[in-house]
Amino acid sequence: QPHSRPRHPGVSTMLPLLLLLLPAAHGIAQLDYRPALTKDPPLEGIKTASTFVVDQPRCIFQDYGNAVIWLVVALDQATSTFNNTWGPGTPETAFQSFPNPVRAYMTLNTTLGSYPCPKPKGDITVLRVGSETSCARDETRPTCNGPLPGPGPYQVKFLALEGSVPVAETRWSLPIMLRQAKSPSSIATADSGHSAGMIAITTILSILFAILLAGLVATLFSWGSDSCGSSSTFSKPESVTVRRYNTHHVYDQPAARL
Dihedral of the alpha carbons of 77, 83, 84, 88, in degrees to the nearest 10:
-90
- Rounded CA gap, 75 and 156, in Å? 9
In contact, 129 and 73? CB cutoff 8 Å: yes
Question: Peptide bond preceding 153: is omega within 30 degrees of 0, i.e. cis?
Answer: yes
In contact, 89 and 95? CB cutoff 8 Å: no
Phi and psi angles of residue 114, each rounded to the nearest 5 degrees, phi first: -80, -10
Delineate the domains of the chain, giving CATH numbers in brackets: 26-39+47-178 (2.60.40.10)
State the pLDDT at residue 137: 96
State the pLDDT at residue 256: 45
Residue 167: name the closest of 65, 15, 17 by CA: 65
What's the average pLDDT block by block, 10 residues per block, for the chain (258 residues)? 49 46 64 94 84 96 96 97 95 97 97 92 91 96 97 97 97 96 56 64 85 82 64 50 50 46
State the pLDDT at residue 21: 47
Partners of 168 in beta bridges: 29, 160
| 131: exposed, middle or buried (Cβ count in 10 Å: 0-12, 13-18, 19+) | middle
- Rounded CA gap, 94 and 75, in Å? 14
Task: Record the pTM.
Answer: 0.63
State the pLDDT at residue 225: 64
State the pLDDT at residue 18: 44
